[in-house]
A and B are shown apart, each in its own frame.
Chain A
Amino acid sequence: MRSGEMMFRQAVRPVVGRLILLAAAQVGGAAVSLALPAAMADAVDRVLAGRGGGWAVSGIALLLAAAAVCEVSAEIAAASCGARATATLRRSLLRRILAVGVSGRNRHPAGDLTSRVVGSATDAGQIAVTVVGLATSAVTSLAGTVLLWRVDVRLGVVLLLSLVPALLLVRMFATRMSDLFVRYQELQADIAARLLDALDGIRTIRAAGTLDQEIARVLEPLPDLSATGAETWARQRSVVWRMSLLVPLIEVAVLTAAGLAVVQGRLLAGQFLAAAGYTTLALGFLNQVDSLAELARATASARRVTEIPGAAAEGPATPGAAPAPGPGRVTLRQVTVRRGGRAVLDGVDVEIPAGYAVAVVGRPGAGKSTFAQLIGRLVEPDGGEVMLDDTPVTRLDPVALRRAVAYAFERPVLLGETVHEAVAYGHEPLSRAVVERAARLACADSFVRRLPEGYDTPLADLRLSGGEAQRLGLARALVGEAGVLVLDDATSSLDTVTEMRIGQVIAEDLAGRTRVIIARRLAAAAGADLVVWLDDGRIRAVGRHPVLWSDPEYRAVFGRGDAA
């Protein structure tokens, strides 16, 4: 949470100047509104006394003009404060999510994160503006009370006495609404996440004809949402109607005291009006219930923005650490990774010599992908250390690490506008020749050439098959000529012939680089210089494939348990 608060302070810092302007304009506006009842009372009394009111009326006109200027400035300042703070929050939230990387992504689905960047950040960005507004309104109320006091002490006492229950009501409202708003937003996010799930599985839904069932499933939290919504109305009602009773009660109480003063000759008719005006101003704070509701919602949103854990730091933990583009030896020392209390990897100790092709094998859930993600610091270990050429990866600066370790995934997410940009992603600018070379190595060149605009075809226009996406993902990994190449099931969607060709590329064209290959195919293990056999998060064995092959359990990993 502390890093969350820090983020928040960062969001407010750039708008401090504007906030001061906003406060000044609002205070100016408040001062004018405080001067108005007296000016009006004066004018009315002059008129009633037959003394003419020309000067007084022009004074009021001036005050009104000043009020308008203040109001316009306040409005623009408020908008620009809110917009800037929102922008800062959005940027830093994105940075944090990207800094936390893969492990954070596991905890929050993309749809949920997007709704935080888009929706919650907007609400949270309004906090400073809302607080300033509430403060000004509180000050105005206070000043109104003081001025009422000056018109007649008794009026002030009546007002003060009646303020106590009013403030209690406001407090009740604020505390009651906050948790409800959190609950409401959670339910809303649940529906959005369910809908995104369904869209991801649309092919299954299409094939199974379960559209209606899906609609029902996505809408499952709707009754809850509806009930929570109804509850917010019920709670608002319980406060608002009391308030709408209390405010006139106080006004009438003050007016009664004022009327008595008029009868006793202590007040003029115009001052009676001033009393009414100051009472309204003093009670203005109570009308801020909506702002309080807004503040409650904004606070709930801020919680959603700040609860995304921040990474320790973006970039190198130790500044000035040597970027070490060495030969590419990868060492894992007593590495443990936990997910939700379960050790995905448990005390893994292994060294991958530079230039080796290493196959990581094991049954599903053995921890192969996590193993792969550790090398390029996509996930941080909970214990132990990952080193690249004797330098812990935590001490490498990100750019050096990118040059050193490249990834290709089973289901790559292709980013950038065009096919060219998707391959060059993270290395821009790159010439077409370099991109083409990488694509050729990945057996992607031929199908890219058949696209309407070749490498300039916008990604948005493409419907890539799993195999095509994998080949572009592989090209992206090859484009940077990293010393360590991690292929996490990166050819699983290819047909046998293409996979064989890419296997040859990896063996021949990429010889000399360290290649870490997560694959289920026997060929991968058979062709590797070394096999790391993972079993339930632990190293079962490290050795050469022909040696391991004599173990029936090893053969069973490839579905060859019974045939030697």
Chain B
Amino acid sequence: MRRPGRTRRGWSLLAGELARQRHALSRVAFWSLLEGVPALLSGRLIAAALDDGFLRHRPAVGFGCLAALLSVSVVGAVASRGMFPWLGATVEPLRDALVRRLVGGTLADAVHSAGRPDSPAVARLTGQVETVRGLVGGMLRSLRRTAVTLVATVAGLFTLAPLLAALVLPPLAVSGTLFALSLRTLADRRLAVVLLDEEIAAESGEVLGGVRDIVACRAERRAAARVGEAIDRQAAAVVRLARAGALRTLVVLLGGQLPLLLVLAAAPWMIRQGQLTSGQLVGAVACLAGSLLPALRSIVNLTSTWGIQLGTVLQRLSESGGVPAPAAGDRKPPAGSPLRASGLGFSYGPHSEAIVDALDLDVTEGDHLAVVGPSGAGKSTLAQLLIGGLAPTGGRVTFDGVPLDRVDPTHLRRCVALIPQEAYVFAGTVRDNFCYLNPGAGDRALDAAVDTLALRPLVDRLGGYDGRLPSGGAGLSGGERQLIAAARVYLSPARLVILDEATCHLDPETEARVEQAFLRRGGALVVIAHRISSAERASRVLLLDGAKATVDSPERLLLASPLYAQLVGYWHDDAASGARRGGRGI
């Protein structure tokens, strides 16, 4: 179990971000001072109204005091009016900064690590940013105000009747200490709730991401029951937290209500001694019951709920998404696209079997290379090595003679484009999606790409270039998504295009059209082949089989390699069967 002391990093994250809003915070502090004026003076003014005015039958003086009370209140109202913009100016930039940090950090982490990111965890974090905003906003509004009220009330009490104030302070101090001690239990239980919240988010994220599969397996009950179990545990934890929180009632009783009783109990003696006037007593009781008690209650409540929650959430936020610095490269080399691998090797560890071994390969302008091989032969690994996405464990890849790790990354990415199997379609207009790699592309370029790739019907269906695509391209088929990804790279300035099974969801005819479109576009094309027909169209074929690699023309490879012949054989058998065979099953 995490200890609450571990939330320090979270608080320092908040402090760092708030430090940037120093200007706004100083304004808040200024208006806070003004806002405390009514609490400071109201007890005194009420006492004076009675003592010097109404009880002495001098109503004019009484009304005067009440008028003063009113004008003091006006000061308070003006202060809270002046305060609000600065509260917003503190909290909104804080949220912006946290969202930026979260989005930037998460995406950078995801890009720089090899694996797939934990999406539900991210969804959770975006919720937590909002919690921080709500809590900081609430605390600035309420906690700040009540703290000011508390201090001002005690100060006001001292000016009104110092002896009474002395009665008030000890129980207040004791209750403060008690409260501080109870915070640890509260923090623990709050953390338990937060962790269960995260569990619910993770579980429901998994279920909601797999609705189709769950329904297809008719496992709705099972899926719902699993999340339901976490939901129930969370509800129980919330109740446990509330029980721990009930202690604060005692704190309020001790710090706010006991002083009131003490004052009332001591009053007869003090009045007999001439140390207290009627007005002072009324004023003090009004102060204690009307200001101190509500302020104390509110402070205790806010600290034990919002404060603890804020600490916990901040900690969770600070643990995620540190922003790593991207590696900088050397100067950019001249334009052109010769990519050369020499003695290229890759394995996941010193003792693992090599996935790519001693591979020599040249890709030049106008080249059309297909990479084929059985599953797990290392085709995608090779693609990653060629674009510098993976660092080789042997040999090297050069781009225009410069080793990949020394080429300016921006330049490299402009020149070399890889389309992965999972096409990326995001919420935005069709144009946004098409022009992703070439924001300057005009309608004429778009028209050309769309016509070449026969995308017109899809574009029309989506409502033209300014039609909106939903999040994740929901409603589009896998093939349609891949066509959008292809059009995007077609429009990009890249001279070397690598299709990593990027057309696997297209029918063969469309696949051929996409490949031909890229060939006519110029530059070089590398196809990690999903179908053998892709290899037959290529000018050269790289056959990967285990760590062994062979490069040759498709015709010669057919004669020289039994494996290639087998792959082609299946395919041709398959194609020929179209005309001859019928109901044998497939």
Q: Max chain B CB contacts within 10 Å: which of A200, A240, A369?
A: A200
Q: Are A229 and B66 in contact (CB under 8 A)?
A: no
Q: How far is the CA of A342 from the CA of B74 in the complex (A)?
A: 62
Q: Is A318 an interface residue (CB 8 A)?
A: no
Q: Is B16 an interface residue (CB 8 A)?
A: no
Q: Is A83 an interface residue (CB 8 A)?
A: yes
Contacts of A214-238 to chain B: CB distance below 8 A: 214-215, 217-219, 222, 225-226, 229-230, 233-234, 236-237
Q: Is B471 an interface residue (CB 8 A)?
A: yes
Note all chain A residues with C-beta closer than 8 A to B69: 248, 252, 255
10 residue pairs bridging A and B, Cβ less than 8 Å apart: A50-B268, A94-B223, A109-B471, A110-B209, A114-B123, A202-B116, A248-B73, A496-B567, A561-B509, A564-B579
Q: Are B212 and A211 in contact (CB under 8 A)?
A: no
Note all chain B residues with C-beta closer than 8 A to A71: 249
Q: Is B176 an interface residue (CB 8 A)?
A: no
Q: Is B169 an interface residue (CB 8 A)?
A: no
Q: Which of A90, A413, A426, A500 is the one whose CB lies under 8 Å from B218?
A: A426
Residue in chain A with minimal CB distance to B424:
A201
Per-residue A-contact encoding for B399-415, CB less than 8 Å = 1, 0 else: 00000000001101100
Q: Is A131 an interface residue (CB 8 A)?
A: no
Q: How far is the CA of A98 from the CA of B511 in the complex (A)?
A: 36
Q: Which of the 9-residue segments A142-150, A321-329, A395-403 touches chain B?
A: A395-403
Q: Are A207 and B507 in contact (CB under 8 A)?
A: no
Q: Are B389 and A255 in contact (CB under 8 A)?
A: no
Q: Are B585 and A204 in contact (CB under 8 A)?
A: no
- B-side interface residues, number (CB < 8 Å): 181
Contact A199-B235, Cβ < 8 Å, known A52-B268, A526-B577: no
Contact A507-B485, Cβ < 8 Å, known A467-B375, A492-B504: no
Using C-beta atoms within 8 Å of the partner chain, give the interface range for chain A.
35 or more
Per-residue A-contact encoding for B261-275, CB less than 8 Å = 1, 0 else: 100110110011000
Q: Max chain B CB contacts within 10 Å: which of A467, A473, A526?
A: A526
Note all chain B residues with C-beta closer than 8 A to A64: 253, 257, 260-261
> Is the contact region of chain A dominated by helix, strand, or loop, or is it mixed?
helix
Q: Is B181 an interface residue (CB 8 A)?
A: no
Contact A523-B574, Cβ < 8 Å, known A79-B238, A110-B208, A200-B472: yes
Per-residue B-contact encoding for A78-113, CB less than 8 Å = 1, 0 else: 111011101100110011011101101111011111
Per-residue A-contact encoding for B570-586, CB less than 8 Å = 1, 0 else: 11001101111111111
Note all chain B residues with C-beta closer than 8 A to A511: 585
Contact A214-B107, Cβ < 8 Å, known A91-B224, A497-B570, A527-B581: yes
Q: Which of the 9-residue segments B51-59, B149-157, B311-319, B444-452 touches chain A?
A: B51-59
Q: Is A452 an interface residue (CB 8 A)?
A: no
Note all chain A residues with C-beta closer than 8 A to B582: 526, 544-546
Given A118-B200, A245-B74, A364-B510, 9 extra CB contacts under 8 A: A47-B268, A79-B239, A84-B235, A222-B99, A233-B92, A248-B70, A412-B213, A522-B575, A557-B507
Q: Is B217 an interface residue (CB 8 A)?
A: yes
Q: Are B103 and A219 in contact (CB under 8 A)?
A: yes
Note all chain A residues with C-beta closer than 8 A to B209: 110, 413
Across the A-B interface, how many residue pairs have beta carbons closer than 8 Å?
A: 552
Q: How far is the CA of A520 from the CA of B54 in the complex (A)?
A: 96
Q: How far is the CA of A306 from the CA of B403 in the complex (A)?
A: 57
Q: Are B197 and A118 in contact (CB under 8 A)?
A: yes
Note all chain B residues with C-beta closer than 8 A to A506: 585-586
Q: Is B50 an interface residue (CB 8 A)?
A: yes
Contact A207-B76, Cβ < 8 Å, known A36-B289, A101-B211, A426-B222: no
Q: Which of the 9-residue segments A132-140, A154-162, A167-175, A273-281 touches chain B?
A: A273-281
Q: Are B250 and A68 in contact (CB under 8 A)?
A: yes
Q: How far is the CA of A466 from the CA of B577 in the complex (A)?
A: 27
Q: Are B477 and A365 in contact (CB under 8 A)?
A: yes
Note all chain B residues with C-beta closer than 8 A to A561: 509
